[in-house]
Structures are given as C-alpha cells and as structure tokens.
Amino acid sequence: MAAEEFLLDNQLCFRLYTASRLLTQAYHPLLSAKGLTYPQYLVLLVLWEKDAQPVNDIAKRLLLETNTVTPLLKRMEAEGILTRRKGEKDARQMIVSLTPKGKNLQKELKDVPATVGSAVLCKEVTPETVPGLFMTLDGIIGQLSKKQHES
C-alpha cells in the first residue's frame, strides 16, 4: 500500500497541473478560431496592457526565459501580429510592438475572458471567491519563483 504522501489524490501538483491543462483546453477553441495558441494569447495580453516592450520585460511578465519567448515572438511576427525592432538606446535590446492586426485582435477576442471565466465558475469558485483564489495562487507562484531563483 502506498504511503499517504504518495497518493495521487493527495498531490497539490496534480490538481494544479490538471486545472492548468483543462483551463488551457477551454481557451483552445476560442483562440484557434483566430489562429492563436494560448502562449500567443498571453503575449498579446502583456502587449495590450503596454505596447512596445523589450523582449526581456515580456519574458519577465510571463515568468519565462527570454529564449522561450523569442521563438514565439518570431512566429507572431511572421503572422503579422507584432513587429520586433532593435532598441534606439541599446541595439542589443529588441522592442516588440503590436501591428494593427495585433491591436485589432483585442476587439475580436473581447469575449474570451468572460467565456472562460464563466466556464470555471462552480460551487467553490464564484465571483466573490476569485480574489482569494488569486491571492492563494499568487502566494504559491511567488514562493516557487523565489525557490527557483535561489537554486
């Protein structure tokens, strides 16, 4: 018999992984209709908040490494969603900006947050409990990020 700590039902990681996977699947039909992937949508969210950002800032905001984000940005550039140009002050820095197509996607995808948001609502997750859920998840993310930077 497996020890309690090794039971799948006792694993926080499994619940988080499963929730993340299913949530990403909920986005899939909404985004694929516009030819987008979920990671591309995350980049768009960052650029819709503030356009014309260095690649490093986008990677930090997404808690990813620059070498993970760069191929994604190259694909988005090839699809005409954004442009990359060398920085004026530092030519080693790449500045990423939305094209008109990238800006227009915000209007085209305006219903996505509410659609996915309503898909996760249940007895335990209500509009009133979401802020607390965010705080809990932010705590987990912060703690794990801190541990990763220590190693």
- pLDDT (tens digit per residue) in 85-117: 998 887 788 999 999 999 999 999 999 999 999
Residue range of the domain that includes 46: 12-120
Give this prediction's pTM: 0.92
When the pLDDT of each residue in the chain is averaged and rounded to a whole number, the result is 94
Q: Do 63 and 145 touch, CB atoms closer than 8 A?
A: yes
pLDDT, tens digit, 9 for 90 and up, residues 9-19: 999 999 999 99
Q: Do 99 and 79 belong together in one domain?
A: yes
42 and 91 belong to one structural domain? yes
Residue whose pair of structure tokens reads 């984000």 in the numeric block? 69
Which pLDDT does position 28 carry in this prediction? 97
Q: Are residues 139 and 109 in the same domain?
A: no
CATH number, domain at 69?
1.10.10.10
User: Residue 2 falls within a domain, yes or no?
Assistant: no
Number of domains within the chain: 2
pLDDT single digits (tens) 78-88: 999 999 999 88
